[in-house]
Structure 1
Amino acid sequence: MEFKDYDDLVGKHLKQNITDVRGVLLIAKGTLLLPEHIDKLKKFNIHILDVESALEVNEVDEETNDKIHTHNQDNINQPRIHFPCIPTKELIQQTESYLKGMKDSLDLTGTVDIEEVEDKLTSVIMDTSNSASLFRLLSELKGTRDFRYTHNMGVAFIATKLGKQLRLDEQELKTLTTAATLYDIGSTKLPSDLVNKTSRFNANEYEIMKQHTIWGHDMLKNSMASPRVALVALEHHEREDGSGYPHRLKGDQIDPLSKIVAIADIYMAMISPRPYREAHPFFNVVHMIHEEIMDNRLESQIGLTFLESLMASQLGCEVLLSDGRQGKIVLVDRNYPTRPLIALDNQDFLDLTKTTTITVKEIIG
Structure 2
Amino acid sequence: MLKVYAVENLRSGMRVGRDIMDENDQILIGTGTNLTKEMIYGLLDRPIFAVYIEEEETHGEIPGKEHLLDDSYTNCYNEVYDKLSVLFTGLAERGEFNAADLQSIMDEKNFTELSDGAKAVSQIHNMEQSGSYLIHHCLHVGILAGLMAKWLGMSVLDQYNLVIAGLFLDIGKLRVPREILEKQGSLTDSEFEMVKKHAQFGYDMLSQTTMNANQDIMQGVLQHHERCDGSGYPNGLKGDKISKFGKILAILDIYDAMASDRVFAKRKSPFDVFSTLYDDILDGKLDTEYGVLFIKHLCHALNGNWVGLSNGDKGRIVYLDESRVRSLPVVQTAGGEFIDLGQRRDIKVTCILTANEVMG
- TM-score, with structure 2 as normaliser: 0.71
Gap change, CA 1:221 and 1:329, over 3 Å in 2: same
Gap change, CA 1:129 and 1:77, over 3 Å in 2: same
Gap change, CA 1:339 and 1:218, over 3 Å in 2: same
- What CA distance in whole angstroms lies between the structure 1 residues aligned with 2:301 and 2:100? 35
Superposition deviation, residue 164 in structure 1: 0.9
Q: Which residue in 2 is equivalent to 1:100?
A: 85
Find the partner of 2:258 among 270, 285, 288. 270
Q: Which residue in 2 is equivalent to 1:136?
A: 123
Pairing 1:171-182 to 2, within 5 Å after superposition: 171-182=157-168
Q: Which residue in 1 is equivalent to 2:177?
A: 191
Pairing 1:205-244 to 2, within 5 Å after superposition: 205-225=191-211, 226-244=214-232
**Structure 2 residues without counterparts, runs of 5 or longer:** 14-34, 56-63, 311-316, 332-337, 353-360
CA deviations on 1:23-47 (whole Å, 9 max, x unpaired) are 513668x95857x96456313479x
- What CA distance in whole angstroms lies between the structure 2 residues aligned with 1:293 and 1:286? 10
Gap change, CA 1:45 and 1:306, over 3 Å in 2: farther
The alignment yields a C-alpha RMSD, in angstroms, of: 4.0
- What CA distance in whole angstroms lies between the structure 1 residues aligned with 2:259 and 2:129? 15
- What CA distance in whole angstroms lies between the structure 2 residues aligned with 1:94 and 1:306? 27
Superposition deviation, residue 183 in structure 1: 1.3
Q: Which residue in 2 is equivalent to 1:145?
A: 131
**Pairing 1:311–2:296 present:** no
Find the partner of 1:110 among 95, 98, 119. 95
Superposition deviation, residue 86 in structure 1: 3.9
Q: Which residue in 2 is equivalent to 1:160?
A: 146
Comparing 164-173 with 271-280, which one deviates more in the overlay? 271-280
- What CA distance in whole angstroms lies between the structure 1 residues aligned with 2:43 and 2:217? 39
Superposition deviation, residue 205 in structure 1: 0.8
State the AA in 2 paired with 1:302.
Answer: Y
Q: Which residue in 2 is equivalent to 1:43?
A: 47
Find the partner of 1:281 among 246, 257, 269. 269
CA deviations on 1:205-262 (whole Å, 9 max, x unpaired) are 1111111111111211210202211111100101121111011112222111222221
**Pairing 1:257–2:245 present:** yes
Q: Which has the higher contact order (CA 8 A, sep 6+)?
A: 2
Superposition deviation, residue 143 in structure 1: 2.3
- What CA distance in whole angstroms lies between the structure 2 residues aligned with 1:240 and 1:191? 29
Pairing 1:344-363 to 2, within 5 Å after superposition: 361-363=347-349
Residues 242 and 249 in structure 1, CA contact (< 8 A), matched pair in contact too: yes
Gap change, CA 1:340 and 1:113, over 3 Å in 2: same
Comparing 207-216 with 280-289, which one deviates more in the overlay? 280-289
Gap change, CA 1:218 and 1:232, over 3 Å in 2: same
- What CA distance in whole angstroms lies between the structure 1 residues aligned with 2:276 and 2:44? 31
State the AA in 2 paired with 1:332.
Answer: D
1:133 match: secondary structure: helix
Gap change, CA 1:341 and 1:149, over 3 Å in 2: closer
Q: How many pairs does the alignment contain?
A: 305
Gap change, CA 1:177 and 1:20, over 3 Å in 2: farther
- What CA distance in whole angstroms lies between the structure 1 residues aligned with 2:218 and 2:246? 10
Gap change, CA 1:240 and 1:39, over 3 Å in 2: same
Q: Which residue in 2 is equivalent to 1:203?
A: 189
Gap change, CA 1:207 and 1:126, over 3 Å in 2: farther
Superposition deviation, residue 297 in structure 1: 1.2
Residues 141 and 167 in structure 2, CA contact (< 8 A), matched pair in contact too: yes
CA deviations on 1:74-103 (whole Å, 9 max, x unpaired) are xx9766986583412222221222222123
CA deviations on 1:174-211 (whole Å, 9 max, x unpaired) are 01111111111111111222223223321111111111
CA deviations on 1:138-161 (whole Å, 9 max, x unpaired) are 222x32222112211111111211
Find the partner of 2:325 among 307, 330, 337. 337
**Structure 1 residues without counterparts, runs of 5 or longer:** 1-18, 47-75, 322-327, 353-357
Residues 121 and 302 in structure 2, CA contact (< 8 A), matched pair in contact too: no
- What CA distance in whole angstroms lies between the structure 2 residues aligned with 1:179 and 1:92? 18
- TM-score, with structure 1 as normaliser: 0.70
Identity across matched positions, percent: 22
Superposition deviation, residue 117 in structure 1: 0.9
Gap change, CA 1:111 and 1:234, over 3 Å in 2: farther
